[in-house]
């Protein structure tokens, strides 16, 4: 089971990988980084991607309300209702003119507030493969 550094190195081995990080979406801090940052600063990238992740994880639109949980059709926030208390959202994909940003939420035994961020080159990256590999990495990642 890989730790943070090994996980990020495996992510960087994916075709088209330009940068990778493990980010705490509650604080916006990068717990580990590898490769380049789209804006030249990993801390800025971590803070900006954390805003996106936090929105997706906390808004009911992306959570349990539309997925039939609860007898009355209502549920708590997405951040409270996922397996292990984590978000219902598995991953987010943002497509830009030159690349893809894939954010994969990581379930942990504590608060499940981290995600893997992979920045892929649009011409050489394989989005489907990246999603599969990030899911595998997130399941095997050892924190602590």
Q: Specify the residue for token string 């900006």.
A: 48
Residue 59 is predicted with a pLDDT of: 86
**Do the beta carbons of residue 113 and residue 23 sit within 8 Å?**
no
Query: Whole-prediction pTM value?
Result: 0.83
**Is it the case that residue 40 has pLDDT exceeding 60?**
yes
Q: Is 34 in a helix, a strand, or coil? A: strand
Residue 112 is predicted with a pLDDT of: 73
Domain total in the chain: 1
Q: Which residue has the higher pLDDT, 42 or 58?
A: 42
Residue 74's CATH number: 3.30.450.30
When the pLDDT of each residue in the chain is averaged and rounded to a whole number, the result is 85
**Do the beta carbons of residue 80 and residue 59 sit within 8 Å?**
no
**Is it the case that residue 20 has pLDDT exceeding 50?**
yes
Which residue range is the domain that position 74 belongs to?
A: 4-140
pLDDT band at 2 (very low <50, low <70, confident <90, very high): confident
Helices 127-140 and 4-12, axial angle in degrees (round to 10): 170
Residue 86 is predicted with a pLDDT of: 57
């Amino acid at each position: 089971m890989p730790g943070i550094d090994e996980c990020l190195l495996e992510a960087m081995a994916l075709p088209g990988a330009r940068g990778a990080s493990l980010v705490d979406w509650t604080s916006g801090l990068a717990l580990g980084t590898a490769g380049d940052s789209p804006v030249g600063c990993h801390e800025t990238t971590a803070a900006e991607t954390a805003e996106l992740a936090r929105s997706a994880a906390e808004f009911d639109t992306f959570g349990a309300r539309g997925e039939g949980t609860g007898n009355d059709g209502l549920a708590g926030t997405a951040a409270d209702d996922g397996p292990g208390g984590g978000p219902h959202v598995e991953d987010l994909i943002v497509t830009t003119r030159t690349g893809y940003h894939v954010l994969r939420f990581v379930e942990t035994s504590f608060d499940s507030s981290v995600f893997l961020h992979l920045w892929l080159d649009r011409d050489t990256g394989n989005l489907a493969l990246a999603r599969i590999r990030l899911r595998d990495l997130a399941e095997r990642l050892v924190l602590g």
